[in-house]
Structure 1
Amino acid sequence: MACSIMVTAKQFFGDPITCITDEIPQKVMDTYCWIQSTFTLPHQLDRVAGEEVAHDGVGSYVDGQHEKKYHKYYQWVVFMLFFQAMCFYVPHYLWKIWESNRVRNLVSDLNNPILEDEKKTKQLKSLTMYLKDNFRFHKWYAARFFICEMLNFVNVVVQIWLVDRFLDYEFSNYGTEVLSFTEMDSEYRTDPMTRIFPKVTKCIFHKYGASGSIQTFDSLCILPLNIINEKIYIILWFWYMFLAVVTGFSIIYRCILCSSPQFRLQTLRMRNRIVDFHILESVFNHGDIGDWFLFLLLARNIDQLTYRQLIEQLDVSITKKTDRESFTISMDNERESKDEVGMLKIEKVDDFKKF
């Protein structure tokens, strides 16, 4: 977004295009060349500027025999940068909608270091009751976060391809070419910044003469915005590559966490080491990946002492609930077994009477 604003700031970088011509009014030529786009000559890039050609990529050519490379991207750079900014914000915005300040509401004032003991005890009790009553109901909450992480990776990969297509497939190797440019012999190297973002280009204007014949005017056009464009996209290249690598490893790390309960337990232990491991393991074993994810977020937003108290209270609460449930199940099983024994006795008596 900052780059998009920078590109539109004419007071810092002047007019987006200025064309040199004597026959055509300046404003008319500038507008025409901006709309129709300008071009450079690839076969003139290796020539010595100031001796063999006037500027890199600008020289004489024969129409139909020499290739002309048109540069149309500069009309859309500001919109492209704005669109990219919106794409990067979409996963964050989705998570904000799906998360709905759940962690903030659960933590409430527990992250306040001067909270009164009475209020702290009350809030800890409320949080404990919520976690106990909603155990194994946070899978979709965690899945939404994982989806946003995947969207981050997909976004950066798609944007690399999109910018590469936008710059006529010159972006994917842009950074490596700029780095290798300084190591090449000055007599045999071509600046990739000049090739992709030329500062001086050519523009052809046609109009009718006094007798109705078509007149051709060859003009040189200066593109001062390409001075900033080349810097923007070299920064974006390194930034995208960094994001792609980091986000890719993040996805791999998340997959390992999802497939290994023991690894998830260790991440909770590393987040807060003052919690007794056996108590933490007891609570962890009663939950699933959604509960683990919520515990991890709570550990990041509550101080260590408060988090330890929460885990200890939750362990006591869950253990009591589990003991009660196991007792009920055992009683039901015992009742069912007695009923089966009674039915067998009745069947035997009926058989004896028949006999």
Structure 2
Amino acid sequence: MASLFKNALEQVGQSHKVDDDIIDRFNHRFTVVLLVTFTAFVSAKQFVGGPISCWTPAQFSDPQVAYTNSICWLKGTYYLEVDRQVIPHRTENSEFRIAYYQFVPYILLVMALFFYLPHMFWRNMSRRIGFDLRSIIQNIKQVANTDINQIALQIHIALEYNSSKHVVNRQKIFNRLLEIFQCSRGYRIRLSSLYIFVKIFYMINCLCQFYFLSTLLSFPFHTFGTEWLSTMLKKIHTTASNESKWFPRVVMCDFMVRHLGSNHHWMAVQCNLPINLFNELIFLIIWIWFMFLSSLTFISLILCFILIYTNISCTFIYKYLHMNLFKSEKEQQDEFIEKYLKCDGILVLRIIAHNTNDIIMANLVGALFKIYLNSIEKENNDDDDQRQLNGHYERVDSSSI
């Protein structure tokens, strides 16, 4: 797991290692970095500083004070309102129990892992169906040292492989499922269907993160930000306590001290949790970021459906064809988009366009269009040769009669 997050951190600032759009990178890169940074900060406060400090009786020695701090940190504490005079019995304080703060670093790491999983799935599965987008974009970034025609040929081979693979394995269950997503441009929609699935994966992950935190923190996390703001406004206009009911800094702890025989004593001490001051700020930032990220991911998912399954996605291809000043008919350009590129080819070019510039894209689309024209010319020549061969056999057959 450590190597996984190290790899995620190393990707920051490396703009050539991209094979998706900016919203996806918000999910699997910036969010992971944010959570890992918070993990490092909280871990430093827990294992280096003093995360808890308990008020102990005067007769306690230094080892006993250290033991009290340790047992209360490990055992967990419970929240008690400042104006409550009576300390509840140890069997009645379960509803006030607070036991999440020991596990905050691990909670953040698990969250970061789930944000990175969709990207791992996208990268591995896109390679399986023939599109190594990371390699293609990395080569384009080095276009000064790479022939753009070689990159176009790499995309052409991937498109042809994708089509032939579907024809060969048409009876497989996976391909039958993909036919559900069939669009007007034919069957070349493997990458497009995968891309939509990954977008849905990101959206589900964002929503599940709220449920995950609500379960672990024992309060509705999706309303945390609004309730926190409401509490702050009340504190400004009233003399209410400065204590947070979600991340309390002053808590109570019950533990038992055993003596020889059956002489056991239960101790109830008051403890200070300065770590919760940082936990509250961290989870407030996480709530704000998750609300923003969920909205962006949902918008990105809707736009993805619109761009893939409508003709809107074709407009940028026409722009790059016109930049090349090709003297071709409109019908020929339409066939290049609808019969050659199809959904997957358009998606590949759109992702590349998000990570390059118009000049590179114009050259790349022009190179692909030339490959398409050459393939059409070759098919026509093969058809002419086949017709001539058939005519020759017919003449031979007639002469033999």
**Could you state the TM-score of these two structures normalised by the residue count of structure 2?**
0.67
- Give the direction of change, closer, same or farther, for the CA distance of 1:271–1:201 in structure 2 (3 Å limit): farther
**C-alpha separation between the residues in 2 aligned to 1:143 and 1:299?**
19
Secondary structure of the residue that 2:300 maps to in structure 1? helix
2:217 aligned with 1:217: no
Structure 2 SS opposite 1:194: coil
Specify the SS of the correspondent of 2:244.
Answer: helix
Alignment deviations for residues 310-339 of structure 1 (CA, whole Å, 9 cap, x no partner)? 333432332342244356558868998999
Q: CA deviation at 1:180?
A: 2.1
Distance 1:238 1:80, change over 3 A: same
Instruction: State the distance in 2 between where 1:247 and 1:222 align.
Output: 39
2:337 maps to a residue whose letter is F
Tell me which amino acid in the other structure corresponds to 1:60.
V
Question: Which of 10, 33, 37 is the matching residue for 2:72?
Answer: 33
Looking at structure 2, the residues matched to 306 and 240 of structure 1 have their Cα atoms a distance apart, in angstroms, of 35
Corresponding residue for residue 312 of structure 2: 263
Amino acid at match of 2:136: V
Shift in CA distance, 230/129, structure 1 to aligned 2, threshold 3 Å: closer
Residues 184-236 of structure 1: per-residue CA shift (max 9 Å, x gap):
47459676x71011101011222356784443322001111001000000000
2 CA distance for matches of 1:18 and 1:68?
Answer: 23
Question: After superposition, where does 1:1-355 map in structure 2 within 5 Å?
Answer: 1-10=36-45, 14-22=49-57, 23-24=59-60, 25-41=64-80, 44=81, 53=83, 59-63=85-89, 68-97=95-124, 98=127, 99=132, 101-104=134-137, 106-107=139-140, 109-110=142-143, 112=144, 123-138=147-162, 139-184=189-234, 186-187=237-238, 194-208=244-258, 212-260=262-310, 262-268=311-317, 274=323, 278=330, 281-285=334-338, 286-326=340-380, 328-329=382-383
Q: Which runs of 5+ in 2 are unaligned?
A: 1-35, 163-188
The answer to whether the 8 A contact 2:54-2:69 is kept is yes
Uncovered stretches (5+) of structure 1, i.e. residues with no partner = 346-355
Question: What is the identity, as a one-letter code, of the residue corresponding to 1:264?
Answer: S
Between the aligned partners of 1:188 and 1:136, the Cα distance in structure 2 is 72
Cα distance change of structure 1 residues 332 and 158 upon mapping to structure 2, 3 Å threshold: same
Deviation at 1:102, TM superposition (A): 2.7
Identity %: 20
Give the whole-Å Cα distance in 2 for the aligned partners of 1:317 and 1:66.
Answer: 74
Aligned length: 321
Name the residue aligned to 1:350.
none
Higher mean displacement: 207-216 or 270-279 = 270-279
**Distance change (3 Å), C-alpha of 1:167 and 1:130:** closer
SS at match of 1:101: helix
Distance 1:37 1:184 in 2: 29
Q: Which amino acid aligns with 1:87?
A: F
- Report if aligned partners of 1:282, 1:315 keep a CA contact under 8 Å in 2: no
TM-score (norm 1): 0.75
CA distance in 1 between partners of 2:214 and 2:364 (Å)? 51
Residues 20 and 220, structure 1, Cα contact 8 Å, conserved in 2 = yes
Deviation at 1:156, TM superposition (A): 1.6
Which residue is equivalent to 2:8? none
After superposition, what is the alpha-carbon deviation per residue over 1:142-201, rounded to whole angstroms, capped at 9, x for unaligned? 44444433322222222111011110033121101012224447459676x710111010
